[in-house]
């Protein structure tokens, strides 16, 4: 069967970024900068979404975050209604949102910052961010981050994990985009960073560098050629070629990891290079300071209220139901369970389940109503309710989210007090929800 391709249209990501930033800042002047994950050349017209990161003025309160979140969501909705061709770009509200103080605080350092492109904003601070995060620095936290990402993505491609949504005329090209740039490029990028001991921002840059340092070039050339032709490579979509491609990509990753381990061994890893063996070895690595781990878990929480409010609207050309399911699948774990259990380790030096932590904090750090808020949000964040109830559930969470942000502020205060475990290291979790980000 002849596959029909929509030709690549002119790249309008620059227009989108400028429009989004100007519109959001006009109603929320606390937004002082805009960054995005990956390099500009990694933004493939018609197929890539845009992982916005806002940079904010210092001193924001929980009430400020709630207000800003809803303001941004209204801009998001207006653009989704008026610019249907931007549906893919508008797939979600900004994810990681930081104040300038948080961005530059070494205690909050997160390797992903070096994968951001700082697009626009207060010129002196944007310039400072560009210079700071492009400097040739390498920390143990960087190595841990990249091994974790490799372990997360190392597997045969799953045909059910990345459904095509909000792609319009470009949906026919998504099978290759998903395989190459969503699930092959990230572990290759991390492998290149580990090899060079320097985190570079771009996927395409990493794919080209991998051609130089890992000898298997045939598979990589297929990947680069397909991207260069905007995935208009008909034979790769048909069977048995598509299954063969998945086998080649998995084989490339296996050999790449084998070579990387020869250069930078993981302590205790001496078995065959398999996904399960690598995940186990990486899971045993020392990880981040508990405070840093706490901040990494809650970093997506601040604009989630607006994100869910946007998703709760029914737009003919925008499918939000799978996106709501993703958020329901991680809110309880990332915003409540893991942060509370990290708090227990920081305050008491014990491993305590999240529910018991709330029991201990009730009447002390938290009021009875605040504990009820946290328990209720955990209960509501349930993806098993089914898509038919997703929008109503998202809207229900929105109504209680301001109270949750107040609780989160208290949790963050607890996380940054002196504790007996200030120098303790925690192990990595291999979290499948990361794949959906």
Share of the chain residues as helix, strand and coil, in percent rounded to the nearest 5: 60, 5, 30
pLDDT band at residue 298 using 50, 70 and 90 as cut-offs: confident
Q: Above 90 in pLDDT, residue 407?
A: yes
Q: How confident is the model at residue 221 (pLDDT cuts 50, 70, 90)?
A: very high
Q: How far is CA 127 from CA 33, 108, 132, 151, 192, in A?
A: 11, 20, 9, 34, 26
Range name among 63-67, 129-133, 244-248, 288-292 with the lowest pLDDT average: 288-292
pLDDT at 295: 85
| pLDDT value of residue 103 | 95
Q: What is the pTM of this model?
A: 0.92
Q: How confident is the model at residue 252 (pLDDT cuts 50, 70, 90)?
A: very high
- Find the mean pLDDT for residues 351-373: 96
Name the phi and psi angles at 198, rounded to 5.
Answer: -160, 125
Cβ contact 289:424 at 8 Å: yes
Q: What is the pLDDT of residue 430?
A: 37
Question: In sequence order, what DSSP letters do the residues of 68-128 get, joined into one string?
Answer: HHHHHHHHHHHHHHH-GGGTTTTSS-----EEHHHHH-GGG--GGGGGEEEEEESHHHHHH
Residue 417's pLDDT is: 64
pLDDT of residue 425: 32
- pLDDT at residue 422 above 60? no
257, 192 contact by CB (below 8 A)? no
**Residue 57 tokens, joined:** 């003025």
pLDDT score recorded for residue 435: 46
**For residue 264, pLDDT beyond 60:** yes
Q: In what order do the strands lie in the sheet with 31-37?
A: 98-99, 52-56, 31-37, 116-121
Report the range of poorest mean pLDDT among 235-239, 338-342, 363-367, 411-415: 411-415
Per-residue pLDDT band for 226 (boundaries 50, 70, 90) equals: very high
The candidate with the shortest Cα–Cα distance to 226, out of 170, 166, 179, is 179
User: What average pLDDT does the segment 266-276 reach?
Assistant: 90
Confidence label for 294 from pLDDT (cuts 50, 70 and 90): confident
Q: What is the bridge-based pairing of β-strands 52-56 and 116-121? A: unpaired
204 has pLDDT over 90? yes
CA 208/CA 189 separation, integer angstroms:
10
Is the pLDDT assigned to residue 418 strictly greater than 60?
Answer: no
pLDDT value at 297 more than 90:
no
pLDDT digits (tens, 9 = 90+) for 76-103: 999 999 999 999 999 999 999 999 999 9
pLDDT value, residue 428: 35
Q: Which of 290, 287, 265 is nearest to 278 (CA)?
A: 265
Residue whose tokens read 């328990």: 375
Contacts of 126 (CB under 8 A, 6+ apart): 33, 118, 119, 120
Of 209, 207, 194, the residue nearest 264 (C-alpha) = 194
Q: Which of 152-166, 275-289, 396-410 has the lowest mean pLDDT?
A: 275-289
How confident is the model over 5-18, as a mean pLDDT? 97
How many CA atoms, within 13 angstroms, populate the side-chain half-sphere of residue 429?
14
Residue 420 has a pLDDT of 41
DSSP 8-state class, residue 53 = E
User: Does pLDDT of 136 surpass 90?
Assistant: no
Percent of the chain scoring above 90 in pLDDT? 83
């Amino acid at each position: 069967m002849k596959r029909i391709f929509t030709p690549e249209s002119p790249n309008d990501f620059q227009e989108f970024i400028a429009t989004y930033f100007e519109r959001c800042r006009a109603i929320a002047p606390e937004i002082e900068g805009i960054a995005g994950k990956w390099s500009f050349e990694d933004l493939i017209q018609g197929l890539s979404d845009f992982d916005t990161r806002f940079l904010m003025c210092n001193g924001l309160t929980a009430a400020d975050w709630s207000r800003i979140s809803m303001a941004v969501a209204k801009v998001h909705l207006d653009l989704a209604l008026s610019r249907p061709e931007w549906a893919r770009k508008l797939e979600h509200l900004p994810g990681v949102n930081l104040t300038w103080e948080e961005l530059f605080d070494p205690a909050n350092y997160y390797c992903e910052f070096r994968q951001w492109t700082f697009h626009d904003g207060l010129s002196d601070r944007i310039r400072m961010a560009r210079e700071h995060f492009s400097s040739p620095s390498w920390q143990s936290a960087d190595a841990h981050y990249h091994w974790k990402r490799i372990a997360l993505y190392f597997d045969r491609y799953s045909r059910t994990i990345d459904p095509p949504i909000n792609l319009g005329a470009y949906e026919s090209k998504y099978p290759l985009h998903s395989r190459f740039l969503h699930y092959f490029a990230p572990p290759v990028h991390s492998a290149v960073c580990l090899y060079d001991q320097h985190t570079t921002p771009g996927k395409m840059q990493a794919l080209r560098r991998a051609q130089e340092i890992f000898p298997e070039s045939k598979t990589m050339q297929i990947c680069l050629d397909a991207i260069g032709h905007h995935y208009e490579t008909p034979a790769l979509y048909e069977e048995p070629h598509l299954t063969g491609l998945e086998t080649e990509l998995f084989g490339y990753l296996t050999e790449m990891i084998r070579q990387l381990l020869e250069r930078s061994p993981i302590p205790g890893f001496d078995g065959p290079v398999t996904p399960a063996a690598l995940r186990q070895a990486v899971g045993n690595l020392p990880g981040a300071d508990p405070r840093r781990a706490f901040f990494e878990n809650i970093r997506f929480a601040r604009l989630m209220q607006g994100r869910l409010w946007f998703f709760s609207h029914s737009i003919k050309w925008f499918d939000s139901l799978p996106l709501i399911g993703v958020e329901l699948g991680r809110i309880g774990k990332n915003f409540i369970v893991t942060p509370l259990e990290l708090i227990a380790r920081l305050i008491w030096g014990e491993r305590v389940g999240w529910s018991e932590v709330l029991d201990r904090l009730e009447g002390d750090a938290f009021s009875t109503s605040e504990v009820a808020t946290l328990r209720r949000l955990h209960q509501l964040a349930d993806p098993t309710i089914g898509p038919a109830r997703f929008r109503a559930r998202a809207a229900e969470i929105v109504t209680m989210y301001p109270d949750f942000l107040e609780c989160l502020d208290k949790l963050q205060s607890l996380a940054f007090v002196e504790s007996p475990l200030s120098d303790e290291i925690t192990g990595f979790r291999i979290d499948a929800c990361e794949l959906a980000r």
